[in-house]
Structure 1
């Protein structure tokens, strides 16, 4: 509704997915309603994830099946930020890749050729089909001069059966063997956070990051100067926050519990009105 744009300061959301929108295979209660309200209020949002396994099209399909309207353009992955960064720094580069379809697709779309030898980059993403031969080849290439790139440094990934080793754990093996540190392009990397903000056409002070993880979502927002919201619908508890030197701007049980006053700021001369009357306020 156009009146909302006129009455309230411009704002937009970067939204983590697992632990914020859904958890495992289940939609988190209230997330669909909150996103519907954002669309009604013409507040832009972008799904932001450190999962490079699936393509944007695959992720959009999953959201639609959960009842969340989404198109591929609404999703921004660490695989995309990695591919765009490499293409900018070295057009038509080559990469040896440990990862899955989402990462490979992003690299190809940005003109990066996937090779088995003589690679400019060794790019590590999420992968369940890797073997020790892949690690050996990656180590040799990095030792011989290829730049080591990580789509993210998350050491674990959540699954329905529990955690499994994440990209950061794979990268750690290669770093230990070669003595070279990886450059990461996933949250909380300022490269990914800045690309996502620019995708929505927002200024720094107009951007809100919502996530369930302190050391990726909240840290990335704090370092970029974005407002941040930590939701407790994922794996972080309120007690965990005390272990960090930085804090989110707000903590809420779930996405739908974010109070209107946090993101709807009346323009000068306007009177605040309850734009989302059925939304529950955060406790």
Structure 2
């Protein structure tokens, strides 16, 4: 028997390139979120940034004029820590990354160690040294499992791009011959955790992002509806390079038409 289609919807929202760019909110993003709140449409901010805690991320949004609570933030660090705690409770990890990743692991009863860890967990950050990479290579070679919070090869900054988690992980993979298991977008593990956080069904979930190979791919693989916004770094021309396509392409978050996500009764309000 076919499950009846639901009129309820909720949003998973990428952050950089969708809500803000650099240190400034993208025009119209606050207005779109206000519309969702007025119509009791749930949403969750979803990010592959493992550097900051969700409290820090919420504060960053608030300072841009975007209302946000820590409970509305879901990071790849959180997905990684929850996954590891389910697979090996009370485990240990050698961490390459910053406070957001270590905090997520601690909150899930993981101990950060320097020697003989169960896992080597790699995030991104500005404080990573070659000494960290060298030690990670030795630990993985000695049997620790290699985990990546995400496989993004670059991170956007105000000054341009810098190497991301994927680039750091690639060095360790190349040196050890072992592949990392990634928990960030487009991982179905993170995408499913985020959906369940909102209490949504698959057909009720809409993913909005500015990147084809993380946001849109993750949505396509999970059966969510997807929106690609052009307020980040992806252009309409770029879409032609992929075998999959988003359900909607919009200039920015606030350009998503009401009829795409609102029941007919609400779309006329």
Q: TM-score range by the shorter chain?
A: over 0.9
Q: Which runs of 5+ in 1 are unaligned?
A: 1-7, 276-283
**CA distance in structure 1 between the partners assigned to 2:54 and 2:208 by the alignment:** 19
Paired residue secondary structure (2:189):
helix
Which residue is equivalent to 2:70?
Answer: 72
- Of the structure 1 ranges 256-265 and 147-156, higher mean CA displacement relative to structure 2 is found in 256-265
For residues 19-57 of structure 1, give each alpha carbon's deviation from its aligned partner in whole angstroms, at most 9, with x where no partner exists.
Answer: 000000011000000000100000000000000000000
Aligned runs of 1:1-283 on 2, under 5 Å?
9-266=7-264, 273-275=267-269
For residues 115-143 of structure 1, give each alpha carbon's deviation from its aligned partner in whole angstroms, at most 9, with x where no partner exists.
Answer: 00000000000121111111111000000
Which residue is equivalent to 2:3?
Answer: none
Q: Which runs of 5+ in 2 are unaligned?
A: 1-5
**Cα offset, 1:274, TM superposition:** 1.8
**Cα offset, 1:264, TM superposition:** 1.1
Verify the 8 A CA contact 2:25 2:66 in the aligned structure 1.
no
Paired residue secondary structure (1:13):
strand
- Structure 1 segments of 4+ aligned residues over 4 angstroms from their partners: none
Verify the 8 A CA contact 2:148 2:169 in the aligned structure 1.
yes
For residues 83-125 of structure 1, give each alpha carbon's deviation from its aligned partner in whole angstroms, at most 9, with x where no partner exists.
Answer: 0000000000000000000000000000110000000000000
Verify the 8 A CA contact 2:258 2:267 in the aligned structure 1.
no
- TM-score in terms of structure 1 length: 0.92
**CA distance in structure 2 between the partners assigned to 1:175 and 1:70 by the alignment:** 37
**CA distance in structure 1 between the partners assigned to 2:228 and 2:19 by the alignment:** 13
Aligned residue pair count? 264
Paired residue secondary structure (2:162):
strand
- TM-score in terms of structure 2 length: 0.97
**CA distance in structure 2 between the partners assigned to 1:60 and 1:273 by the alignment:** 29
Instruction: Output the aligned Cα RMSD.
Output: 0.9
For residues 224-251 of structure 1, give each alpha carbon's deviation from its aligned partner in whole angstroms, at most 9, with x where no partner exists.
Answer: 0000000000000000000000000000
**CA distance in structure 2 between the partners assigned to 1:229 and 1:156 by the alignment:** 22
Verify the 8 A CA contact 2:94 2:121 in the aligned structure 1.
yes
**Cα offset, 1:265, TM superposition:** 2.9
Distance 1:53 1:273, change over 3 A: closer
**CA distance in structure 2 between the partners assigned to 1:146 and 1:166 by the alignment:** 22
Distance 1:272 1:88, change over 3 A: closer
Paired residue secondary structure (1:243):
coil
Distance 1:109 1:24, change over 3 A: same
